[in-house]
Amino acid sequence: MDSAVAILIMVLLTIAVPLWLILHYVTRWKTSKGLSAEESRVMEELWEMAQTMETRIQSLETILEFDENKRSDNNEHNKS
């Protein structure tokens, strides 16, 4: 009788408990697959900040190109 209980406990510990844990966390993962309201808000803020930063970078690139063109025009004018 004692060996039957020991075998049952071993089966539960090696098969049933790990299987239950895996199924439990897979179910939790599937239910929480989407973003929470807070995560969505943060993502929206980050997106807006990235858009603003992109606009600023484009403006800086335009200014730098204009400055570079102005310098090269001045250098050509001074050589003539």
State the pTM of this model. 0.49
Q: What is the mean pLDDT of the chain?
A: 87
Please say whether the beta carbons of 9 and 17 come within 8 A: no
| CA 2 from centroid of its chain's CA atoms | 53
Please say whether the beta carbons of 59 and 67 come within 8 A: no
Which one-letter amino acid corresponds to residue 43? M
pLDDT of residue 46: 96
- 57-70 confidence digits (pLDDT tens): 999 999 999 888 88
User: Is the predicted pLDDT of residue 52 greater than 90, yes or no?
Assistant: yes
